[in-house]
Amino acid sequence: MNHLTVGQRAPLSNLAIEDTAPVRLKFTHHSPIEMHISCFALGAAGKLNNDDYKVFYNQPTYPCGQINLIHYESQPTASKGIQAEFEVCITRRK
């Protein structure tokens, strides 16, 4: 299992995973302030090409279907923090 830090950018090719299998990215964060968890698909220049390539609670699907938000819990409790789970499948096309 790979662990990423908050704000870290990591190309999937650096994570030693197969691009044909779906990958689940799970995030949990405990914070006293309101925050949102998002997944950005960056272009070759390392920048977001268009707002359509952000996946978050209000836009749960990437335009071509490769990234989907499959679980989101924005109200933290004493026992669990804010949670988001994304499924990434690079080879999937709509």
Query: Distances from the Cα of 92 to the Cαs of 11, 21, 89, in angstroms?
Result: 17, 10, 6
- What distance in Å separates the CA atoms of residue 73 and residue 36, rounded to the nearest whole number? 10
pLDDT tens readout for residues 17-47 = 666 666 777 777 776 667 778 888 878 888 8
Report the percentage of the chain scoring pLDDT > 70.
74
Could you tell me if 68 and 12 are in contact, meaning their C-beta atoms sit under 8 angstroms apart? no
Could you tell me if 6 and 57 are in contact, meaning their C-beta atoms sit under 8 angstroms apart? no
DSSP designation for 3? -
46 CA to centre of own chain: 16
Could you tell me if 24 and 87 are in contact, meaning their C-beta atoms sit under 8 angstroms apart? yes
- Is pLDDT above 70 for 58? yes
